Structure 1
Amino acid sequence: MVDDYALARRANMRWNTPLDEQHADLLLRRLDVREGTIVDLGCGWGELLIRAVDGTAARGIGVDVDEVALDRGRRAATERGAEVEFVEQAAAEWRGKAERAMCIGASHAFGGTKPALEALAATTDRLLFGDGYWAAEPTEAAREILGDDILTLPGLLEACRETGWRVRHLSTADQREWDDFESTSWSGRLEWLLSHPEDPRAAETREWLDQREREYVSVYRGVLGLGYLVLVR
């Protein structure tokens, strides 16, 4: 049985990416899901996937390794009558064809941006791809936290071209989306902490919350961007 600490981690998050409702609706319209199969590789709990198939003749497949997130997705799909199957598997190991695919914030599962784009070309010819990029020159501290293989936005678009993709739609997360994402990513643990101040995990949780807040506002707020691309080939 999953305890309340594991459930609290992302309890207040709509999805695990900086994206508001209106922006999500726009991306799904551009992806143009109608029928067939849509696969979400690195789906988390699959909220965007469930919405993608809603009102269509399509069926969804969500692939992730996070058992807690997958259980949440299965419950949501059942409650809402969505035809979505959740598979516990590494995103890069999934093999199959789909009329549409999504991969948002999961390029690391394939070894990076360009390897992900190359691998996803074998899956579909229309892809919603979300990936981080440097929106401003990163400091050494930002590189230490986030890694050194993040591209600029022009570099991200060039990687798409080099792997045979064309950009049908481009948009980026704005600052309010980022602030909401970061706030909801830590607020579940904060609420847990307030309810369990004497738990043995309280001290490390308090330390994690302090560090995450400091890193966000001092190191990578306004520096790390998230680009959403609807790609075709």
Structure 2
Amino acid sequence: MSELDAARYARLRWNTPLSEPHAEELLDHLDLTTATSIVDLGCGWGELLLRASGRTTAKAIGLDTDPAGLARGRRAAVDRGLDVDFVEQDAAGYGGTADRALCVGSAHTLGGARAMLTALADVVPSGRVLVGDGCWESPPTPAAAGIFGDGVLALPDLVAACRDTGWHVLHLSMATQHEWDDFESRHRAGVREWLLANPDDPRAAQVRATADSREHEYLTVYRRVLGFAYLVLAR
């Protein structure tokens, strides 16, 4: 992995708009015990999975197709003395079961929100899951809809989809504006730091233009329009 590639996610704690206190609250609602097995579908580098694993001694598995993210997760698990198995595999191909499942920001890997909720019922036939997914907080402009596509639901429709697929909503919370701004800033901070350290790199102009464009897109197109919901569900 190049230094630039490593910089892209270097300042992100997790690849979702989420604060430390909010994360701990969500894990509390999962009601984890020492015997609770966990699987994270589309885990990335699995920071939330690692923290969940710290609450149990049972099996913890993270699935993703990004080798760099998985390698980061494995290093973190070793550093913290946690027994987490990071597997390079498409989440849609997982055929096992667990007591708890996480699927945060990865509904697209399972075919969208409704398909994700249906798939999770097979993974957790009886237990709790934590899902996190984008949803419209206000009616999207054509520009916002063009970026995120037809799969994004309004929050009431997302909750209705949970009920329709047999889940009880135990807890619902939304990413705050501070969490969103922090996430978006961190998403670019590593690249900004790389630019400061490498101003004469031949890639610098394009890297800067991309970062500036995405920042402008956030500020003018989907800030306060796209929300992010966290739901702890049970069946």
Give the alignment's TM-score, normalised by structure 1. Answer: 0.97
In structure 1, the gaps of 5 or more residues are none
**Alignment partner, residue 114 of structure 1:** 114
**Alignment partner, residue 180 of structure 1:** 182
- Contact 1:74–1:86 (8 Å) recurs in 2: yes
**Alignment partner, residue 94 of structure 1:** 94
- Contact 1:6–1:68 (8 Å) recurs in 2: no
The 1:202–1:111 alpha-carbon spacing in structure 2 relative to 1, beyond 3 Å, is same
Local SS of the residue matching 2:227: strand
Q: Deviations over 1:27-77 (max 9, x none)?
A: 000011212320000111011111001142223101111111111000000
Aligned mates of 1:136, 1:187 — CA distance in 2: 28
Return the offset for 1:203.
1.9
Local SS of the residue matching 1:210: helix
**Alignment partner, residue 52 of structure 1:** 52
| 1:93 partner amino acid | G
**Alignment partner, residue 22 of structure 1:** 21
- Contact 2:32–2:55 (8 Å) recurs in 1: no
| 2:135 partner amino acid | Y
Return the offset for 1:207.
1.2
Local SS of the residue matching 1:179: helix
Aligned mates of 1:148, 1:217 — CA distance in 2: 21
**Alignment partner, residue 206 of structure 1:** 208
Aligned mates of 2:199, 2:106 — CA distance in 1: 34
Alignment of 1:26-175 (within 5 A): 26-34=25-33, 35-124=35-124, 125-175=127-177
Of 203-212 and 20-29, more deviation after overlay is shown by 203-212
The 1:55–1:106 alpha-carbon spacing in structure 2 relative to 1, beyond 3 Å, is closer
Of 86-95 and 10-19, more deviation after overlay is shown by 86-95
Local SS of the residue matching 1:131: strand
Local SS of the residue matching 1:58: coil
- Contact 2:36–2:56 (8 Å) recurs in 1: no
Q: Deviations over 1:184-228 (max 9, x none)?
A: 001111111111122232122111111111000000000000000
Report sequence identity in percent: 56
Give the alignment's TM-score, normalised by structure 2. Answer: 0.96
Local SS of the residue matching 2:192: helix
Aligned-residue Cα RMSD (Å) equals 0.9
| 2:101 partner amino acid | A
- Contact 1:33–1:58 (8 Å) recurs in 2: no
Aligned mates of 1:36, 1:173 — CA distance in 2: 26
How many pairs does the alignment contain?
Answer: 232
In structure 2, the gaps of 5 or more residues are none
Aligned mates of 2:20, 2:209 — CA distance in 1: 31
**Alignment partner, residue 194 of structure 1:** 196
**Alignment partner, residue 220 of structure 2:** 218
- Contact 1:133–1:152 (8 Å) recurs in 2: yes
Aligned mates of 2:80, 2:99 — CA distance in 1: 23
Q: Deviations over 1:156-178 (max 9, x none)?
A: 00000111111011111000000
Q: Deviations over 1:13-37 (max 9, x none)?
A: 0000000000000000001121232
